[in-house]
Amino acid sequence: MGLPVVIFALALTTVAMALDNGLMRTPPMGWLAWERYRCDIDCDNDPKNCISETLFRDMADRLAEDGWRELGYTYVNIDDCWSSKKRDGKGRLQPDPKRFPGGIPELARYVHDRGLLLGIYGDLGTFTCMGYPGTTLDNIETDAQTFADWGIDMLKFDGCYSNATEQEKGYPLMSKALNATGRPIGYSCSWPAYQGGLPPKVNYTQLGEICNLWRNYGDIQDSWDSVLNIVDWFFNHQDILQTTAGPGRWNDPDMLVIGDFGLSLDQSRSQMALWAIMAAPLFMSNDLRTLNSEARTILQNKAVIAINQDKMGVQGRRLLKEKSEIEVFWRPLSNSDSALVFFSRRSDMPYRYTTSLGKLNYKAGSYKVYDVFSEKLMPGLSDTTDFTVSINPSGVVMWYISPLVPLSFRQNYRVSSLHGGLELPFPL
């Protein structure tokens, strides 16, 4: 079988394994506090940036008012360091009263009133990674019900201060407990990251049955080296990981750091493109209040988002690693469309890379090509036409490719599965 046929077959064989809560049929999108704000709890000296209800209200306002929500960025996610150091008199988790004086239910109402969703952080262990109260096995049902009572829409469940035996019991138990609350709560599991990310220690069939998404690898840092390490790990193990992803169950390479301090413009485009190829959750961790226009343009690019949110939900692959340090990535999309990324690991100068669609396993025929970041419709290509792309150092060229077929076949098709029916900025 040709490569496209193999990928579609893999998608069909794995689609039935997803967690049956009806959530996250496309990769979830939103904002998450951790990489940008970590455990800053000094609200006396840093009131705008500390982990507090003010920070999350500010980010909810920006998502609702600056065009993010309409593009699909709907989650506002709290990470570690939100809670009090002690549980309340009934054994329930409680927010820090100074930093969250209104409580989590009031924050949830604020977020929901803006058409958004609220996520929260927990940890399967005696403590969270930063030393706040964890969720031991005997507290799982209590904490799940507490989150549901508060109006929480997503739980990121970490694994610090727990062992493999506790994780084997606790992650499935939390899934069951969340479902038992009757409230739809997306479930992000950090379990595989604590078990090395690969079989046989990691049972991806089981993960697909209990979790909506999962962290496979270490935390991202605000640096290009960190992004490259994550990209290498995921694509070096793509034969294992690609088959595990699909609607309702996603591999999570961690947050988008676009708009922070460590990536150049080209590197920011590269992270966005490669996360879209991976069908990764798109959780920004940046300051939406001060985001520059270049970062905003990348993160709000409709074509990249449409690729990421494709309903078929097949994770893409790396096709080639050239001696020239050019790599080619490919993802199949609905309606026989596809995405191609030409990525340069070079550090010297733009590189002119020549190939053809036929050499990249495309079937015989003619194709329409849209350049995602230049936002231009390119001249049509046949599978045998050689073409050359110029790729900046640590940059990408990303194409959205559609087979040229009669209009009657495509006229009622909507490319994007985004919330609100957002369509691509070019005609099919």
Residue 286 has pLDDT above 70, yes or no: yes
Q: Which of 12-26, 92-106, 152-166, 392-406 has the lowest mean pLDDT?
A: 12-26
Asked if residue 327 and residue 302 are part of one domain, the reply reads no
Classify residue 155 by burial, with Cβ atoms within 10 Å: 0-12, 13-18, 19+. Answer: buried
Q: Which of 14-23, 97-106, 263-272 has the lowest mean pLDDT?
A: 14-23
- pLDDT one-digit tens code per residue, 118-127: 999 999 999 9
- pLDDT one-digit tens code per residue, 353-365: 999 999 999 999 9
Asked if residue 339 and residue 304 are part of one domain, the reply reads no
Asked if residue 205 and residue 99 are part of one domain, the reply reads yes
Residue 149 has pLDDT above 60, yes or no: yes
- Torsion angle in degrees (nearest 10) through CA of 142, 144, 149, 153: 170
Asked if residue 282 and residue 189 are part of one domain, the reply reads yes
Long-range contacts of 91-96 (CB under 8 A, 24+ apart): 91/139, 91/142, 92/142, 92/143, 92/146, 93/122, 93/133, 93/135, 93/143, 93/146, 96/41
Residue 351 has pLDDT above 80, yes or no: yes
The reply to whether 114 falls in a domain is: yes
Q: Which of 171-185, 374-388, 403-417 has the lowest mean pLDDT?
A: 403-417
Q: What is the CA radius of gyration of the chain?
A: 22
Output 414 or 167, whichever has higher pLDDT.
167
Percent of the residues in the chain that have a pLDDT greater than 90, as a whole number: 89
Question: If DSSP states are collapsed to H, E and C, what string results for 237-285?
Answer: CHHHHHHHCECCEEEECCCECCCCCCCCHHHHHHHHHHHHHCCCCEEEC
State the sign of the Cα–Cα–Cα–Cα dihedral 303, 7, 239, 190. Answer: positive
Structural domain including 374 reads 317-410
Domain final position from 249, 273, 308 = 308
Element (H, E) at 180: helix 164-180
- pLDDT one-digit tens code per residue, 294-303: 999 999 999 9
DSSP state of 127: B
Asked if residue 236 and residue 117 are part of one domain, the reply reads yes
Asked if residue 297 and residue 342 are part of one domain, the reply reads no
**CB-based contacts of 254, cutoff 8 Å, min separation 6:** 35, 215, 217, 219, 220, 230
Residue 16 has pLDDT above 80, yes or no: no
CATH number of the domain within which 354 lies: 2.60.40.1180
Average of pLDDT values for 101-107?
98
pLDDT at 244: 97
Average of pLDDT values for 145-151?
98
Instruction: Please tell me whether residue 39 adopts helix, strand or coil conformation.
Output: coil
- Nearest residue to 305 via CA among 425, 418, 398: 418
pLDDT at 415: 41
Average of pLDDT values for 163-172?
98
pLDDT at 9: 46
Quickly state the pLDDT bin for 405 (edges 50, 70, 90).
Answer: confident
Do residues 189 and 225 touch, judged by C-beta distance below 8 A?
A: no
pLDDT at 13: 39
The reply to whether 426 falls in a domain is: no
Domain final position from 265, 280, 308 = 308
Peptide bond into 133 cis (omega under 30): no
Asked if residue 105 and residue 197 are part of one domain, the reply reads yes
Asked if residue 336 and residue 303 are part of one domain, the reply reads no
Sheet hosting strand 376-382, strand order edge to edge: 317-321, 326-332, 338-344, 396-403, 366-371, 376-382
The pTM of the full predicted model, rounded to 2 decimals, is: 0.93
The reply to whether 10 falls in a domain is: no
The reply to whether 6 falls in a domain is: no
Average of pLDDT values for 126-151?
98
Residue 18 has pLDDT above 90, yes or no: no
Asked if residue 198 and residue 149 are part of one domain, the reply reads yes
Active site annotation includes 225: no
Total Cβ atoms within 10 A of residue 233: 17
Count structural domains, the chain: 2
Q: Which of 72-76, 85-89, 422-426 has the lowest mean pLDDT?
A: 422-426
DSSP state of 218: P
Asked if residue 138 and residue 40 are part of one domain, the reply reads yes
Domain final position from 278, 308, 338 = 308
Query: Which residues pair with residue 12 across a beta bridge?
Result: none
| Catalytic site residue from 66, 219, 222, 371 | 219
How far is it, in rounded angstroms, from Cα 219 to Cα 289? 24
The reply to whether 162 falls in a domain is: yes
The reply to whether 89 falls in a domain is: yes
Asked if residue 260 and residue 145 are part of one domain, the reply reads yes
Average of pLDDT values for 210-229?
98
Buried b (16+ CB within 10 A) or exposed e, 212-225: bbbbbbeebbbebe
Residue 406 has pLDDT above 80, yes or no: no
Total Cβ atoms within 10 A of residue 271: 24
Average of pLDDT values for 49-65?
98
pLDDT at 427: 63
In which residue are the tokens 């469940």 written?
157
| Catalytic site residue from 80, 143, 158, 260 | 158
The reply to whether 421 falls in a domain is: no
Average pLDDT of the chain? 93
pLDDT at 229: 98
Asked if residue 324 and residue 286 are part of one domain, the reply reads no
Output 7 or 386, whichever has higher pLDDT.
386
Average of pLDDT values for 327-332?
98
pLDDT at 299: 99
The reply to whether 39 falls in a domain is: yes
How far is it, in rounded angstroms, from Cα 248 to Cα 175? 14
Residue 355 CA neighbour count, 13 Å, CB half: 19
Residue 246 has pLDDT above 70, yes or no: yes
Give the largest CA-CA distance in the chain: 71
- In degrees, rounded to 5, the angle at the alpha carbon of residue 173 between the alpha carbons of residues 168 and 176 is 140
Average of pLDDT values for 175-193?
98
In which residue are the tokens 């990421």 written?
308
Total Cβ atoms within 10 A of residue 376: 10
Do residues 231 and 267 touch, judged by C-beta distance below 8 A?
A: no
pLDDT at 425: 66
CATH number of the domain within which 121 lies: 3.20.20.70
Active site annotation includes 219: yes
Do residues 171 and 210 touch, judged by C-beta distance below 8 A?
A: yes
